[in-house]
């Protein structure tokens, strides 16, 4: 079973400065009005932080006993938010579909995220999970972006084997508000790779699996479903 290259995309964490209510010699009501106005304009208000998202990731007990957490692959944005950015995704680096952080191929970076990776070094096999949060309706744009990535990447060359990887993608019902599954196969691999992205409101859960003889499909769906449920619970707690 082939273990995909781990070209981890480390998102830059740029904390937004806290908005402070203006202090003046005027009336106290004026200061309250300014604070209320500032809070109303905060585009990240109510969105979960990386610290909260980290707790929503599937725990170690959800993985096969032979799998271990790779601490070096754990990342999150902590208690602050980073600036949401969008860059051109017209020519995606298709080979990054086999890497953690593959959701970034859409060209959209959210305001907070958390991710980690578990691996079985004996098989070898890999199970990665990530949650990204976006402002407004941007999460829906990310899902649309995935279909464009697959259209732009019908295949790519595996740098390890110099063979051609086939890329296919299909909408996937029954996971969150909407979901999309991408499958990577190569005749030289023992097993393929399954990627699943599932939207839950403003969040997108993404997983990568090479575990199992079915290109990682069953284990990817199981992991995605667990994290989706966890994110729904987080959303409920936030009201």
Mean pLDDT, all residues of the chain: 86
pLDDT at residue 237, as a whole number: 59
pTM above 0.95, yes or no: no
Superfamily classification of domain 47-238: PknH-like extracellular domain (3.40.1000.70)
49 secondary structure, DSSP code: P
Which token pair is 152?
Answer: 């732009």
Residues 139-167, mean pLDDT to the nearest whole number: 96
The band of 219, judged by pLDDT with boundaries at 50, 70 and 90, is very high
Please write the tens of the pLDDT for every residue from 96-129. Answer: 999 999 999 999 999 999 999 999 988 899 999 9
pLDDT at residue 33, as a whole number: 54
Domain map (residue ranges) of the chain = 47-238
- What proportion of the chain, given as a percentage, has pLDDT over 90? 76
Range of weakest confidence among 27-36, 187-196, 220-229: 27-36
Closest CA to 96 of 7, 210, 202, 27: 7
- Decide if 54 contacts 114 (C-beta within 8 A): yes
């Amino acid at each position: 079973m082939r273990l995909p290259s781990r070209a981890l995309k480390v998102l830059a964490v740029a904390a937004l400065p806290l908005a402070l209510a203006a202090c003046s010699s005027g009336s106290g009501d004026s200061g309250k009005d300014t604070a209320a106005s500032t809070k109303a304009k905060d585009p990240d208000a109510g969105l979960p932080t990386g610290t909260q998202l980290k707790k929503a990731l599937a725990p170690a007990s959800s993985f096969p006993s032979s799998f271990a957490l790779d601490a070096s692959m754990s990342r999150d944005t902590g208690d602050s938010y980073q600036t949401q950015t969008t860059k051109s995704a017209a020519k995606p680096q298709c080979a990054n579909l086999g890497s953690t952080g593959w959701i970034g191929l859409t060209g959209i970076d959210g305001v907070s995220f958390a991710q980690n990776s578990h691996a079985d070094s004996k098989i070898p096999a890999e199970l990665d999970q990530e949650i990204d949060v976006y402002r407004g309706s941007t999460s829906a744009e990310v899902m649309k972006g995935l279909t464009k990535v697959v259209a732009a990447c019908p295949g790519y060359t595996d740098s390890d084997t110099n063979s051609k990887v086939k890329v296919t993608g299909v909408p996937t019902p029954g996971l969150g508000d909407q979901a999309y599954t991408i499958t990577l196969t190569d005749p030289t691999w023992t097993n393929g790779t399954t990627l699943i992205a599932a939207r839950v409101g403003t969040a997108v859960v993404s997983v990568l699996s090479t575990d199992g003889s079915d290109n990682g499909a069953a284990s990817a769906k199981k992991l995605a479903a667990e994290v989706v449920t966890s994110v729904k619970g987080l959303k409920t707690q936030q009201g």
